[in-house]
A and B are shown apart, each in its own frame.
Chain A
Amino acid sequence: MNASLRRVWGLVYRHLALFRRSPPRVIELAYWPTLQMVVWGFVTAYLAGLQNDLASVAAGVLIGGVLLWEATLRAQMGFSISFLEEIWSRNLGHLFVSPLRPAEMVAALMVMSLLRTLVGVVPAMVLAFLLYAFNILAVGPALVAFFAALIVMGWAVALGVTSLIMRYGAGAEALAWSVLFGIAPFACVFYPVSVLPLWLQPVALVLPAAHVFEGMRAALTDGVLLWGHLAAAWALNIAWIIGMAALFMGQLRVARVRGALINIGE
Chain B
Amino acid sequence: MTHALIVENLTKRYAPDRPPAVDGLSFRIAPGTTLGLLGGNGAGKTTTIAMLLGLLLPTSGRVVALGHDMATDRFAALARMNFSSPYISLPHKLSVRENLTVYGHLYGVPDLPARIAQLAGELQLAEFLDRPSGDLSAGQKTRVALGKALVNRPDLLLLDEPTASLDPDTGDWVRSRLEAYRDATGCAILLASHNMAEVERLCGDVLMLKQGRVVDQGSPAELIARYGREDLEQVFLDIARGTRAEVAA
Contacts and interface: CB of A to CB of B under 8 A. Distances in A.
B94 A18 contact: yes
Nearest to A7: B106
A21 B55 contact: no
Contacts of A10: 101-106
Contact of B75 (A13, A85, A101): A101
Q: Say whether chain A's binding surface is mostly helix, strand, loop, or mixed.
A: helix
A94 B78 contact: no
Contacts of A3: 108
Contacts of B46: 262
A98 B50 contact: no
Q: How large is the interface on A (under 10, 10 to 19, 20 to 34, 35 or more residues)?
A: 20 to 34
Interface in A4-28: 6-7, 9-11, 13-14, 17-18, 21-22
A85 to B, nearest CB: 8
B196 interface: no
Interface string A61-101: 00000000000000000000000010001110111111111
Contacts of A9: 105
Interface residues of B, number: 35
Which residue of A7, A91, A94, A256 has the most chain B CB atoms within 10 A of its CB atom? A94
Contacts of B108: 3, 6-7, 99
Contacts of A258: 14
Interface in B67-112: 75, 78-79, 81, 83, 85, 87-95, 98, 101-108
A99 B91 contact: no
B57 interface: yes
Interface of B: 14, 46-47, 50, 53-57, 75, 78-79, 81, 83, 85, 87-95, 98, 101-108, 132, 148
The 4 closest A-B pairs by CB, nearest first: A10-B105, A93-B88, A97-B53, A90-B89
